[in-house]
Structure 1
Amino acid sequence: MADLKELFAKVDGQHEEMIALWKKLVNRDCGSDNKAGVDSVGQDIKEILEGLGFAVRFHEYEKAGNMLVADYGDFSKPFIVITGHMDTVFKDGQAAERPFTIRDGKAYGPGVLDMKGGITVALTALKLLKEIGYDRYAIRVILAGDEEVGHGNSNAAEDYMKEAKGAIMGFNMETGYLDNGIVVERKGCRRYRVEIDGVGAHAGNNPQDGRSAVEELAHKIIDIQALTDYEEGTTLNCGVIGGGTVANAVPEHAWCIVDVRFRTMKGLNRVDQAFKEIEKKQYVADTKTTIFPTITIAAMERTPESVALCERANELAVKAGLSPIHPKFVGGGSDSAYLVLAGVPTLCALGLRGEFNHTVREYAVVDSLFERTKLFITLLLGL
């Protein structure tokens, strides 16, 4: 194995260059609905990886940011997968309004934590390993362009599994946690839209002729929320609702968006079946309910292989003088699920430590940029 102390010293000598790359990635609008912005980030990363000797290609999508795939090494040998995403949740204009800023050891800006920092870690680690002639495993880098919207407008989920199939290990550079946990299990997420059609009428002249879609929705929201089962690990949240037009009209249309988090497919299947019954049920006569899924992110189910990989990673980290890590379960979904579904032992959340993803308060601990680069180098050399 290469001398880790020497490599760690190289990381310490890259601080300014790493910050500059991180800043460049943050200071560009690349929300999931901004295909041009996401694809522009992909071109920047392509240029960096090609400079390191990677062969870069893209899965191109009409209505979503393209997926970058980059290969390095001899793929007749075992290969590993390094993955993440290039899109953020933020609308156009946020990069200009809230540019990359460092205050009191924390960095701020759209996507600074989720997950431009993790991409910077991966690119820097690969650069330094390339300099010492790393050839332990072939490497495949997969960066999605529409992770934040669950690949609703692309085939990226299927493409992930095809590209990852056969890998011996997977590493997702997603948001890290302040407690230094490494994720080996994540809930999946499915979004549903509930549409209810009623009968409109004047609320003063002939309210008896109306059939309120809002009233029907109110009943069904209670039914939907009641499907939550904390012991099973399945939770439902009617997070956005709408309906009606004016206060003096019986509303003929209403809708809501339901977020479902599930630990296992068994839990999701239970919800699916229950929704079919809720769809048929009528509280208000002559109303019609339609429920359909819009986004699905698979659950990253815990496997013995992923847990064992995390335990071995902790041994290597401690031996290298780095902070201990431990296996962690979280509720938020990620594309690590597709690596596990492809049969790949996977460690997720190897990116920067921080808090408040998807909000204007999102921040990353600056020192973790360098700490996690050292950890990632250690894992790639030792696992």
Structure 2
Amino acid sequence: MNKIQQYLLDHQDEMIALTKQLVNIDSPSYHLAGIQQIMRILESRMNALGMTTYQLESGKPGTVLVGQLAGKESGAPVILSGHIDTVFPVGTAQQRPFKIAGDKMTGPGIFDMKPGIVIGLYAIQALKHFDLIERPLKVIIVSDEEKLHLASNAAQLIAQEAQGGAYGLNLEGTTATNTVGTSNRGGMIIDLTVHGRAAHSGSEPEKGRDAVVELAHKIIQLTALTNLQEGIHVNCGRITGGISENIIPDQATTSLGIRFRTLTQRDQLLQQIRQIAHQHVIPETTTDITIRTQIDSLEATATVQQLFANLDRAAKELGISPLIAANDRGSSDAGVLYAQGVPCIDGLGVVGGAAHTDQEFASVHSLVKRAALIATLICTKDA
């Protein structure tokens, strides 16, 4: 066991205590009171580490907390990123608070992803204790990742703060100690609204232009864009239209949930969706497109693979090599970092599973193992 591992093991109880404190505060993406409470705790912790901190208003609702720590050398910072929001409603923390039994921790957000923030901060604390912070560090924590930053500008703020970063470490959870993410899918939520013309369906149907029928034609074309083998999925998950059975509907909307593997696929999908929107079966109808939110994909490019190789060498020092590079089918803010030219590894947080369910769990021992892995990578000269 090296000195970093031993230091973190000596502070494992503190890591558990901070995890418990965070998990026992409800923080769904829309719950500003809980979000602010957690951000105050984390900002205080960052300040205690000597970090300069500031918060950026991200919109409705929430904030982006940024902490910066100078290194012995100038240059591009290492970026650690994560989110504090969960998918669980207010009251969940009281109904099933943090519990620990042996190596198993449970509670809302215990895997996705409150302990990840704890892991990142204690990795920095260990490096600071041993005076091993050679390059600048930056921590970016957001409060609405679970909503794909819907109705906020958090993704733009992450992108702004990430520019010029050396590399990124996203603190989402993972399912095994030796597994991290080198790629994941991006996502978009897009609304298509067809505008037609209302008319009485009994006495003057010929004067109407049916928006629902026009949208139906488009939905068939939109869902045909799905190619699961290539990682593309277009889901017309919500449909609304019309106000009465005897009125030709003058408006109809579908909300699309879209997933893709690469930025090239994203661009092609947007072009195809616009083409479908602007081609009409029913004359004199029009269609509007609104991209409500978007998170880009993380791709296993050469720079990401090199970062993974450096991480694997760090893992070897700790006895947890070889690492496995996983392809996550979900989305995360790692894609936002990657889109800014910052190579990134995802899934560096706690080890566990059953995210977004009442069976969510995480490993106590992974707190130390993952913090040690991050710290060892950061203090590696060629990383």
Find the partner of 2:46 among 35, 39, 49.
49
What CA distance in whole angstroms lies between the structure 1 residues aligned with 2:288 and 2:109? 35
Query: AA paired with 1:61?
Result: S
Give 1:259's match in structure 2, choosing from 236, 251, 257: 257
Contact 2:171/2:348 (8 A) holds in 1: yes
1:136-182 per-position Cα deviation (integer Å, ceiling 9, x unaligned): 22211111223223334443333323322333222111122337322
d(CA) in 2 for partners of 1:208 and 1:180? 64
Determine helix, strand or coil for the equivalent of 1:369.
helix
Alignment pair present for 1:37 and 2:34:
yes
Q: Percent identity?
A: 34
| 1:207-226 superposed matches below 5 A | 208=205, 213-226=211-224
Instruction: Please report the TM-score for the alignment, with normalisation by the length of structure 2.
Output: 0.87
Q: 1:21: how far off? A: 1.0
1:294 counterpart = 2:287? no
Amino acid at match of 1:41: I
Which shows bigger deviation, 71-80 or 310-319? 71-80
In the alignment, which residue of structure 2 is the partner of 1:330?
Answer: 328
Greater alpha carbon shift after TM alignment, 166-175 vs 251-260: 251-260
User: Aligned partners of 2:72 and 2:235: how far apart in 1?
Assistant: 44
Other structure's SS at 1:112 match: coil
Q: 3-state DSSP class of the match of 2:97?
A: coil
Residue 145 of structure 1 corresponds to 143
Amino acid at match of 2:114: K
Greater shift after overlay, 242-251 or 129-138? 242-251
Match in the other structure for 1:366: 364
C-alpha distance in 2, partners of 1:281/1:166? Answer: 41
Alignment of 1:126-165 (within 5 A): 126-165=124-163
Q: Aligned equivalents of 1:111 and 1:236: distance in 2?
A: 28
Identify the range of structure 1 (274-283 vs 297-306) with the bigger mean alpha-carbon deviation. 274-283
Counterparts of 2:118 and 2:262, CA distance in 1: 32
- The farther-off stretch of 289-298 and 248-257 is 248-257
Q: Give matches, 1:224-303, under 5 Å.
A: 224-230=222-228, 232-244=230-242, 253-283=251-281, 288-303=286-301
d(CA) in 2 for partners of 1:77, 1:322: 31
Does the 8 A contact of 2:73 with 2:134 survive in 1?
Answer: no
**In the alignment, what sits opposite 2:121?**
123
Structure 1 residues 92 and 287, CA gap change in structure 2 (3 angstroms): farther
Residue type at the aligned position of 2:278: K
CA contact (8 A) 2:162 2:342 kept: yes
Letter in 2 for 1:24: Q
Gaps of 5+ in 2: none
Q: Does 1:26 align with 2:23?
A: yes
